[in-house]
Chains A and B, each alone.
Chain A
Amino acid sequence: MPEEKAFQLDREINSVLATDCGSTTTKAILIEKVGDEYRLIVRGEAPTTVEAPFEDVTAGARNAIREVEELTGKTLLDEKGVITPRRPDGTGVDIYMSTSSAGGGLQMMVAGVVKTMTAESAARAALGAGAIVMDVISVDDGRKPHEKIQRIRHLRPDMILLSGGIDGGTITHVVEIAELISAAEPKPRLGIGFKLPVIYAGNKDARPHIQSSLGQKVDLRITDNLRPVLEKEVLGPAREEIHNLFMEHVMAQAPGYNKLMSWTPVPIMPTPGAVGICMQTASREYDVSVIGVDIGGATTDVFSVFGEFFNRTVSANLGMSYSICNVLLEAGVQNILRWIPFKIDEGDLRNRIRNKMIRPTTIPQTLDELVIEQAIAREALRLAFLHHKSLAVGLRGVHKERTIGDTFEQTGSGESYIDLMDLGMLVGSGGVLSHAPRRAQSAMMMLDAFQPEGLTMLAVDSIFMTPQLGILSTIHPKAAMQVFERDCLIILGTAIAPAGPSGSAKPGDSCVKVTLEWDDQSVTEEVPYGQMKVVPVPNGKTAKAVIQPSRQFNAGAGYGHTVEKTINGGVVGVIIDCRGRPFTPPADEASRNAKLLEWFRALNLYPQESLEKYAK
């Protein structure tokens, strides 16, 4: 079960109203019990009103809820807020809850003694709780003490998480970091005149010293060591304290949140924290490893659940509008051009990307613009995933200690535990994925960026309600999962992507033979290396798949070994991706364009006449 369970249900829940106050839009969903099932009834949205001239988040929440009222004909609001519990005349709902990332979300700085050990654990704790980590300070981060102090002074985080040392270990280093923080006298981002909250989750023997160096200057909270022994990471108590402080400090300072908090008995949760809980619940329910990605205008969040390990990273400057130029900067123009199957002047492309940054709400009107935007999205997703893999690692500094199952290894040397062959489900959300005009475009962007191996179900969150379902799952997991499955996810299909080649296979060589059987149909496809094929197994159907890779390829059972499994169809179907893993498009422009067009045609990605135009 999720760690945070601050609220206990005291009544039967038949109707739930949940909002997510995002940085630009506030989204409300109404869930009701229909027969034995919980279903999404309607959703409403309105611009978020944290900023001037409104400066009251509840105005946007009211507008979004009013849209729900209009669509259902029900009264849910009165002058005090959301009416709870539901009255006999049908007005109101049984419970209301909300998540929030408005006003910049939760921004934290973390500190630890060793960069790759306690500081990394602290970063994982903060990210998992839904924060943006502005910087990670450690004794060995290569900066001189005065540089660290300057950095701490310059940043104005919402809070700091300080860790360091195992219980009973040396206290000197963690106290040294505390003294740097004390010297910097950091100020919080919100609430002029308030003390900055600092959570101490390090060596318990150092607590008195931490208290004496920081106690007078900051709002110090002490919680359990997140690395009590070298071999163990205990992030729960630190995350819980982060959530408490998020409510007490960050939300309490944000305009209108005190009012919003009075509407609900469930503590308001940071949006990404709630999405993480939803992903963990989904992984448990489906019994598969899950990667989720949410690509927004400013940031891209990646969540992964492999076995018992949950990780979340936020790439704070990778996004499709505000941060789109940073994608250009980090990926480089050539990496964006490699996904565009037509000639475009580099300067023109750069100007277009800048213009998207300064006018972030515009949408592509021409197909060329859509293709360009989706090319940028591939790079943003790829970079965000690289970032995620660098943090989703086994504990460093300990010996390899255990093996769980056949495919999963908890490594002790800091290796990433993201095993793309083990990945069962890849869920995408965010405008560019959820609102792609053709669903196959979403599937292709995720395949190109994440390059899943073996068999992976692909899905998109159609209307981004995972935050609301995440917070709902903390009090009513059953309702959350029923809505997740039936109303939230759009199953695109299953990708069959053999890893390899192990040797020097050439394009056109044999790669895989796939036989799919569903209803009374049976389809066999032999797809050579370098090509793609879609078998339209419909949404809602499962197919019995027999996958026979050639000896240079591995579909999950080893090179050349057959895999038999029941797989999901979807709105796109079963995608046989024989481009190899890992793969990169050809370097030569002419052959790359030809290859891209070939793959685009195979997936019916864009209108055929446009692809013909590009081919010329």
Chain B
Amino acid sequence: MAHAYTPGLKVTERAIVRKTRRLPILGEVLVEKGQSVSPDTVVARTNIPGNPMTVNVANVLGVEPEDILDFMTKKEGDTIRKDEILANYRSFFGLFRHEVKSPVDGTVEMISTVTGQVTLREPPIPVEVDAYIDGVVEEVLPREGVVVRTEGAFIQGIFGVGGETQGIVRVAVDGPDDVLDESCFTPQDKGKVIVGGSLVTAAGIKKAAEVGAKGVVVGGIIDTDLIAYLGHDIGVAITGHEDVPVTLIITEGFGKMRMADRTFQLFKAISGFKASINGATQIRAGVMRPEIIVPGFQATEQLVEHDLSEGLVPGTPLRIIREPYFGQLAEVVDLPPELQVIETEAKVRILRAKLQDGTIVTIPRANVEIIEK
């Protein structure tokens, strides 16, 4: 394949970011094209059919399913209140009385004379979708949602947990090697997105939750600390819906991993700005990486749309993403076209790269990612 390399994660001071905000089912779009929106602007709304509840009336009354219509006090389409009588049955001149009360407020949707089951439907559940970022509605998807466009700083992480939130960015460590532990947090961090260096400790995340921080962004995390934070293990890399108090984003990987300098410097630059962040990660078809967006950040860089067509060339800055040089930054020296045998005896396409200490090393092309600007 022509492009046998990992494009890498975006770390850029200025990017055009488009976010599609879509309803789960068809509904109503509440904003217009060109309209300015803020993260909490409701852009679309719909009603999801309410929760259904089934009651086996025939079983409760002890009658045959085909006879239940004789005992129903409500018919299909009727509204019903909780504890209101749904069906009753009197025998022995009213001496014995059985009745079925509705367990919920709702409507009678279906009465089945085959199973004796009655389906009740609770009132519809309103669902709203907000804009998530400050920006402008670029496109309206009729009845489905909108595309919101913004310009600003944009940083992708490699893995995250927890969903969308917003907060002011604060870098809580001095350098990208530093560990983010409980001592780094203050009560003023409530509502903020706290940035650390190479690692967040288990106590650090706990403290972040205690002070009410919205997010933590850091280079790495120890696998077992993540499991402890979530309360369960992660089998498949589909995240974003965890019920966690703080959205956590890691930028490099698992273990203690120095945050890339460029990423760390950009966080310092956006410190004090409001960011929209999302930990949702999906590493399958339709790759989704966690993100930090700072709309309106005034950067010094020229605005460029990303062009990856050039791919790897001598001089391209890289991050090595697998042992034995995992986490190190390097620069492409050359790209021999022919397959080469590596230590495992596999024949693969490789590149030679210069590490930051000047050492030249050989690495499979599959094991590097371009550091995108």
Contact = CB atoms under 8 A, between A and B. Distances in A.
A25 B115 CA distance: 48
A568 B272 CA distance: 71
Nearest to A148: B54
A209 interface: yes
Interface stretch (A9-17, A72-80, A355-363, A468-476): A355-363
Interface in A363-406: 363-370
B233 interface: yes
A438 B25 CA distance: 51
A358 B158 contact: yes
B110 A364 contact: no
B321 interface: yes
Contacts of A322: 236-237, 283-284
Nearest to B362: A365
B137 interface: no
Interface in B331-352: 342-346, 348
Contact of A355 (B52, B54, B286, B322): B322
A146 to B, nearest CB: 6
Nearest to B121: A183
A322 B324 CA distance: 21
B219 to A, nearest CB: 13
A209 B112 CA distance: 9
A513 interface: no
Question: Interface extent on B, as a size class?
Answer: 35 or more
Interface stretch (A159-167, A335-343, A345-353): A345-353
Contacts of B348: 363
Contact of B344 (A175, A193, A366): A366
Interface string A46-71: 11101110000000000000000000
Contacts of B254: 350-351, 354-355, 358
Nearest to B220: A351
A213 B112 contact: yes
Interface string B42-70: 00000001011110000000000100000
Interface string B87-111: 0000000000000000000000110
In this complex, which of A176, A187, A362 has the most chain B Cβ atoms within 10 angstroms of its Cβ?
A362
B1 A45 contact: yes
B159 A192 contact: no
Contacts of B326: 355
A473 to B, nearest CB: 27
Given A50-B285, A172-B115, A365-B322, A347 B223 contact: yes
Contacts of B323: 352, 365-366, 368-369
A183 B110 contact: yes
Interface stretch (B168-176, B182-190, B363-371): B363-371
A435 B346 contact: yes
A365 B363 contact: yes
Nearest to A103: B285
B201 interface: no
Contact of A325 (B235, B281, B346): B235
Given A182-B119, A185-B49, A354-B254, A363 B235 contact: no
A384 B356 CA distance: 43
Nearest to B327: A355
Contacts of A23: 284-285
B322 A362 contact: yes
Given A103-B285, A438-B345, A171 B1 contact: no
Contacts of A185: 49, 52
Contacts of B109: 183
Nearest to A176: B115
Interface string B214-255: 000000001110000000011111000000000000000111
A437 interface: yes
A347 B237 CA distance: 19
B328 interface: no
Contacts of A48: 285
B117 interface: yes
Given A179-B119, A183-B54, A435-B346, A362 B321 contact: yes
A305 interface: no
B26 interface: yes
A41 interface: no
Given A47-B1, A179-B115, A330 B235 contact: yes
A108 B172 CA distance: 47
Given A146-B53, A179-B119, A183-B109, A51 B346 contact: no
B344 A51 contact: no
A576 B81 CA distance: 74
A607 interface: yes
A317 B224 contact: no
B278 to A, nearest CB: 16
Given A325-B236, A369-B322, A363 B114 contact: no
A367 B344 contact: yes
A442 interface: no
A132 B363 CA distance: 36
A317 B284 CA distance: 12
A184 interface: yes
Interface residues of A, number: 66
Contacts of B51: 146, 149-150
A323 interface: yes
B235 A193 contact: no
Contact of B222 (A45, A351, A362): A351
B210 interface: no
A24 interface: yes
B269 to A, nearest CB: 26
B79 interface: no
B238 to A, nearest CB: 9
Contacts of A369: 322-323, 344
Contact of B236 (A317, A355, A364): A317
Contacts of B222: 347, 351
A361 B285 CA distance: 12
Contacts of B233: 325, 329
A252 interface: no
Contacts of A366: 323-324, 343-344
Nearest to A180: B54
Nearest to B26: A193
Contact of A354 (B223, B287, B322, B363): B223
Given A146-B53, A146-B54, A193-B26, A357 B237 contact: yes
B159 to A, nearest CB: 5
B65 A358 contact: no
Nearest to B286: A51
Contact of A351 (B49, B65, B255): B255
Task: Kindly name the residue among A180, A351, A355, A361 whose own CB sees the greatest number of chain B CB atoms within 10 A.
Answer: A355
B3 interface: yes
Contacts of A45: 1
B28 interface: no
Contacts of A184: 52
A362 B343 contact: no
A313 B260 CA distance: 43
Contacts of A47: 1, 3
A172 B114 contact: yes
B41 interface: no
Given A149-B52, A351-B254, A363-B367, A358 B344 contact: no
A51 to B, nearest CB: 5
A358 B114 contact: no
Contacts of A213: 110, 112
Given A48-B285, A350-B254, A363-B364, 11 more contacts: A47-B1, A146-B52, A171-B114, A172-B65, A182-B119, A298-B284, A323-B235, A325-B233, A329-B233, A351-B255, A607-B345
Interface of A: 23-25, 45-48, 50-52, 102-104, 145-146, 149-150, 171-172, 175-176, 179-180, 182-185, 187, 192-193, 209, 213, 298, 317, 321-323, 325-326, 329-330, 347-348, 350-352, 354-355, 357-370, 435, 437-438, 607
14 contacts: A146-B51, A146-B52, A179-B119, A182-B119, A192-B22, A298-B236, A322-B283, A325-B233, A326-B236, A355-B326, A357-B237, A362-B364, A365-B343, A437-B344
